[in-house]
Chains A and B, each alone.
Chain A
Amino acid sequence: MHPARSLILFTSLSGLGFGVLAWLGLGTPAVTGWVAFVFYLIAFGLAGGGLVASTFHLGRRERALKAFTQWQSSWLSREAWLAVAAMATMGLFALGAVFFGQHWQPLGWLGAVLSLATVFATSMIYAQLKTVPRWNMPLTPVLFLSLSIAGGALLSGEIGPAILFLCVAGALTLAHWTLGDRRFAQSGTTMETATGLGPIGQVRAFEPPHTGTNYLMREMVFRIGRKHSLKLRVMGFGLMVLLPVLILLLPFHHALAAVAVLSHVAGLFITRWLFFAEAEHVVGLYYGAHDKTSDPIA
């Protein structure tokens, strides 16, 4: 799949932002006044910024509000509702913390649940797609949630939980790569089932429908960069998990904590880029992807 910058920014930043909001809603850290103001500014900036980035992916941004109408069937629509509900609830909770020095705790718990529900809905936009076998597994929402919780803990300065959840998210990232690598073959969709010509024999793409490229190939038959996938996985994993965990194990220092956060975000961008770039859509089969005899678009 084409790793669109808007979608990488949207999923990573809003995931982080809602992760921080979830921790704040649970009252860890229980901040008030100006400190709370800074925490909420960062959290809302990330969550809101991510959502704004997502609208840059749209062909018709001026109609974005129509996306709220189909919550009964569409995960994208549910994501929009949950994001607004989470931000509104946490906004009220933040009001109490910043201006009144109060923690209206039931509101915070509700806000935390809604924040994580938003991340779950975001992940389901991808996990629901049978056409992208690498995404279409229960591990996808689990991975998104664990990364959001880990990143949220790191940004809220909860060192113990941050170490724990970074390790969990790291293990899930490795699991998602390992299982994901086998998913396309497991899906059972091949050039033979795509064309229905399997009963005759082995199918090879002979001629594409056109001499140039098209929307489908740009969007869903993305191939550049997969050859660097191992290097990028090592870099992403090191920056997102290993380095922050090592830094957190050292005696606490604000400058070091900032390095840990920056490293985590950089690693998150890399692994999220891979999440899109490595995902293969079954439509690629019509264009000769996974061709057993040759690989015209490799």
Chain B
Amino acid sequence: MTQLPEKTERKLGLVIDLDTCVGCHACVISCKGWNTENYGAPLSDQDPYGADPSGTFLNRVHSYEVQPETGAPQLVHFPKSCLHCEDAPCVTVCPTGASYKRVEDGIVLVNESDCIGCGLCAWACPYGAREMDAAEGVMKKCTLCVDRIYNENLAEEDRVPACVRTCPSGARHFGDLDDPDSAVSQLVAARGGIDLMPEQGTKPVNKYLPPRPKDRLDEVDVLAPYLEPVAEDPRGFLGWLDRTLDRL
């Protein structure tokens, strides 16, 4: 059913901390590792060891340089995966009903046995969250590890998306963003979490925590007093030299 639900019971999603992400790409690898052998078709690679490798990934980490008006530029690592939008344009364009948003938790999924691989959902997504698998001919996207988070065969601490479980710097958080008391909602409130491309009107569930302002050291230069000019008005030989050089 590709009509969006009026309201979902929960809004499960990720909160990504751009301040703590170190750009190690561990989330990319753990995502591919888990999702290539669990839910749906594997995430194939084309020419993986050759000259022109490419492949399907559900999560990718970009790096950006931001130049403030004053001071040094900042390097920001930027993981990007499906934002499980409330108003998901990828869902409504789907002609087959393969794409849907779940009422119970708001996760956007693809029923791969209904997907005809037309690619229109990938065009409708502003974030580049959907990738067509070149081997399988169907659309792949982040499932929020739907086969982990409810999986009672896993230890309780493992019932989070693979990217969150693996992140070594604690930059990824998972929870219900509909519940104002949840840890993720409080984190978003405390750190001023933001939406990506709000003008696209997609109402993303995933939030990004902007980098904290950089600390600034007060200008303390212990040598400065010793480098001040000793005499503002030179006399004697130096005075003569100064005047002579000025005249040249």
Interface residues of A (CB under 8 A from B): 1, 57-61, 63-64, 66-70, 72-77, 80, 125, 128-132, 187-189, 191, 193-197, 199-216, 219-220, 281-283, 286-287
Tell me the complex Cα distance, A203–B133, Å: 31
A69 and B62 contact, CB distance less than 8 A: no
- Give the contacting residue for A283; candidates B68, B116, B126; CB below 8 A: B126
Q: Mark B15-43, 1 if CB is under 8 A from A, else 0.
A: 00010000001001000000000000000
B69–chain A nearest beta-carbon distance, Å: 6
- Whether a CB of chain A sits under 8 angstroms from the CB of B219 is no
Cβ-closest 9 pairs across A and B:
A59-B117, A59-B137, A209-B60, A76-B95, A207-B63, A283-B128, A77-B95, A67-B95, A66-B96
A194 vs B80: C-alpha distance when bound (angstroms): 11
Most buried by B among A57, A128, A199, A286: A286
Interface bracket on B: 35 or more
A204: which B residues are within 8 A, CB to CB? 64-67
Smallest beta-carbon distance A164→chain B, Å = 34
Q: Is the interface of B mostly helix, strand, loop or mixed?
A: loop
User: Cβ of A130 and Cβ of B200 under 8 Å apart?
Assistant: yes
Residue of B nearest to A188 (CB): B199
- Partner of A193 from the list B57, B75, B197 (CB cut-off 8 Å) is B197
Q: Are A189 and B126 in contact (CB under 8 A)?
A: yes
Instruction: Check B210–A63 contact: CB distance below 8 A.
Output: no
Residues from chain A with Cβ under 8 Å of B127 in the complex: 283, 286
| B138 and A199 within 8 A (CB) | no
Please state if B62 and A196 are interface contacts (CB–CB under 8 Å): no
B122 at the interface (CB under 8 A from A): yes
**CA separation between A199 and B69, bound complex, in Å?**
10
The answer to whether B186 has its CB under 8 Å from any CB of chain A is: no
The reply to whether the CB of B194 lies closer than 8 angstroms to some CB of chain A is yes
Does B196 have its Cβ within 8 Å of any Cβ on chain A? yes
Sampled A-B contacts (16; CB under 8 Å): A58-B116, A58-B117, A63-B96, A66-B96, A66-B116, A74-B95, A75-B93, A80-B95, A129-B89, A129-B123, A191-B64, A193-B199, A195-B76, A197-B18, A202-B67, A210-B54
> Nearest Cβ distance between residue B236 and chain A, in whole angstroms?
52
User: How does the 8 Å CB contact mask read for B75-92 relative to A, with 1 for contact and 0 for none?
Assistant: 110101000000001001
